[in-house]
Structure 1
């Protein structure tokens, strides 16, 4: 085997490029960030990411509104329960008015 010839150098270059291509393919397949030609990283982009974010923002707004309404209802119930001069009839009357 002649290690001084150009075929040996070309074989090393081919094996290096082939190994780089294989590792890049494995990284991309499994979702790891891939290095670009300048050494920076390129992350996998999700095509539906903007749509998912918009849906989550809508759900967040809806749930925030529900929490606000529930806090108001709890504050009314706390006020009814903690009244110091309330009698049973007044309490029943207030509960009926809230319905």
Structure 2
């Protein structure tokens, strides 16, 4: 081994450690934080879709009840549905 090889390797390892601490570590922290934020946004979107799906399911249930109801209140129920005055928990009958 060359006597100059040991100090060169020592300095190279030190520079590599400094480079890793100054540039690589913050870059990994940045990527980690970015992934966390993206995960939060995806979770919020999923919650919005779930909420909207529940609203649509409630509306379909109301429509099914109206479609199967043969009573004289059918026109009133359709108007209530159009006006948005039908509460999902309140039966139409």
TM-score by length of 2: 0.50
Partner in structure 2 of residue 65 of structure 1: 51
Unpaired segments of 5 or more residues in structure 1?
Answer: 1-5, 7-44
Unpaired segments of 5 or more residues in structure 2?
Answer: 2-27, 84-93
Partner in structure 1 of residue 74 of structure 2: 91
CA distance, structure 2, for counterparts of residue 96 and residue 66 of structure 1:
22
Higher relative contact order (CA 8 A, sep 6+): 2
Query: Which ranges of 4 or more aligned residues in structure 1 deviate by more than 4 Å?
Result: none
CA distance, structure 1, for counterparts of residue 66 and residue 58 of structure 2:
13
Number of equivalenced pairs: 53
Partner in structure 1 of residue 60 of structure 2: 74
Q: Larger % of strand: which?
A: 1
